[in-house]
Amino acid sequence: MRIFNWERRWKMPGRWGILGASFLARGACGSRTRENPKETPGAPEESPEPCLASKCQDETVGKKDTLRGRWLATRRTTHELWLIGKALVSTRHVVQAHIIPIRRCNLDCAYCNEYDEVSAPVPLEEMHRRIDKLAELGTSLITISGGEPLLHPELDDIIRRIKHHGRVAGLITNGYLLVPERIERLNRAGLDHLQISVDNLKPDDVSKKSLKVLDQKLVHLAEFADFHENINSVLGSGVNNPEDALVIAERARSLGFTSTVGIIHDGSGQLRALGPVERNVFERIMDMSKGSYSRFNHFQRNLAEGKPNDWRCRAGSRYLYICEDGLVHYCSQQRGWPGVPLARYTPADVRREFRTRKPCATHCTVSCVQQTSYIDHWRAPQHLDPLPSPRHALDREAAESLVQIETESGD
Ligand code: SF4
Ligand code: SF4
């Protein structure tokens, strides 16, 4: 399952908001399933009334408008501008990594292929080793994803380790376990960015990540969080009411958050053009952010129209996906390539993958990798082919599936 997220910068979120919120935008909140969300301690009751944006516009919003809130945002922006400058100067280091501390999730969204019901948390010492290694590879932004990362009992210590290395720390969560005390703990750990996907206004058989359920969580975030928040809404296959995305985006705006919209594709992971109603919603959301960075990015419009994109995917180099087993993958949708342990990943691997073309690029919808790779769009053509994956070396069917992507893309 693939999601393309299109970022709207409602408010100044810090410069990484241009890249950062999009970096966060990919992640666990993306792909397939069964029926009801599992019983989870701390899971929220539905909000008494679904909050429609028009009703909430005048609500008082907390920390972001204080002197301290503005100072924190300025400090975050300055740090992130420096990291972007560093990424532009040298291509020899990783820019962003997604890291999975736990594969388990407390929900079971019908479109998700990135969770299970049983996995144990990765031990803290092992997470420390992986973060240390990412820092050694020069990684600027480390985003914690899942599964549901808030289920990891030592998440705060994982964030602290990222901040210990002076890197930007991001978190993708379904938000169900957020309460004021948990938000304050994330503040103290030093979290920089958080993203929640809100898929619809009311729970249905596809997703329980609903504004009706999560609105109170968003209000708590607005009141208590020191970090930047991005709210992702979705369009496409399995979304019953496309207009929900508009209401969710407006609600995010009213609370002072940034907002992105993702395109969900069908269960086979294929790119499919949006229908007329969805296109209309997509265009209306685009119109809301005239003058933003996104207007210069044609990726999302091509994807909405089902057209291919011409770009150089720098996965395995500027972007890494580290699974719960500590293996490096191109991204969440190409797990198995290169599929080698992070502990053995070297600067030479980073340089090789920088010049390795990815046959699946043409119809790729993994926005965080696209945004990361855009930094180097103008340089270094790719002429190498992907190395055989150790995991798939003996798996003929899987190996052929990568070839099939290559054929389809015509790349
Ligand atoms: S909440 Fe859990 S099941 Fe739903 S998209 Fe995120 S990781 Fe997948
Ligand atoms: S083009 Fe890159 S980011 Fe997209 S699916 Fe392929 S490896 Fe992943």
**Span 314-373, pLDDT tens digits:** 999 999 999 999 999 999 888 888 999 999 999 999 999 999 999 888 888 888 898 899
Between the alpha carbon of residue 355 and those of residues 144, 240, 328, 411, the distances in Å are: 27, 41, 17, 15
Neighbours of 68 (CB within 10 A): 10
User: Residue 381: what pLDDT?
Assistant: 87
In angstroms, the CA 278 to CA 281 distance is 5
What lines the ligand 2 site, CB under 6 Å?
Answer: 313, 315, 330-331, 333-334, 358, 360-361, 364, 366, 369
User: Residue 391: what pLDDT?
Assistant: 55
106 CA closest ligand 1 atom index:
2
Closest among 63, 82, 83 to 73, alpha carbons compared: 63
Kindly indicate the confidence band of residue 140, based on its pLDDT and cuts at 50, 70 and 90: very high
The answer to which of 10-14, 70-74, 107-111, 215-219 has the lowest mean pLDDT is 10-14
Q: 398 or 203: which carries more pLDDT confidence?
A: 203
Residue 398 has pLDDT above 50, yes or no: no
Give the closest ligand to the alpha carbon of residue 315: 2
- β 258-264/228-236 pair status: parallel
With the most atoms of ligand 1 within 8 angstroms of its CB, the residue from 174, 197, 206, 324 to mutate is: 174
In angstroms, the CA 263 to CA 25 distance is 11
With the most atoms of ligand 2 within 8 angstroms of its CB, the residue from 31, 265, 270, 313 to mutate is: 313
Give the closest ligand to the alpha carbon of residue 303: 2
Residue in this structure with the two tokens 């999975």, named with its chain if needed: 100
- β 193-197/228-236 pair status: parallel
In angstroms, the CA 87 to CA 401 distance is 33
364 CA closest ligand 2 atom index:
4
Work out the angle at residue 15's Cα, subtended by the Cα atoms of residues 14 and 20, and round it to the nearest 5 degrees.
90
- Whether omega for the bond prior to residue 338 falls within 30 degrees of 0, making it cis, is yes
Closest among 350, 372, 346 to 84, alpha carbons compared: 372
Mean pLDDT of 221-231: 94
In tens, the pLDDT along 84-133 reads 888 888 888 999 999 999 999 999 988 888 899 999 999 999 999 999 99
User: Residue 19: what pLDDT?
Assistant: 43
Asked if 222 contacts 64 with a C-beta cutoff of 8 angstroms, the reply is yes
30 CA closest ligand 1 atom index:
5
Kindly indicate the confidence band of residue 236, based on its pLDDT and cuts at 50, 70 and 90: confident
User: Residue 86: what pLDDT?
Assistant: 85
SS (H, E, C) 140-205: CEEEECCCCHHHCCCHHHHHHHHHHCCCEEEEEECCCCCCHHHHHHHHHHCCCEEEEECCECCCCC
User: How many angstroms does the Cα of residue 365 sit away from the middle of ligand 2?
Assistant: 8
Residue owning the nearest CA to atom 8 of ligand 2:
331
With the most atoms of ligand 2 within 8 angstroms of its CB, the residue from 5, 302, 330 to mutate is: 330
User: How many angstroms does the Cα of residue 299 sit away from the middle of ligand 1?
Assistant: 25
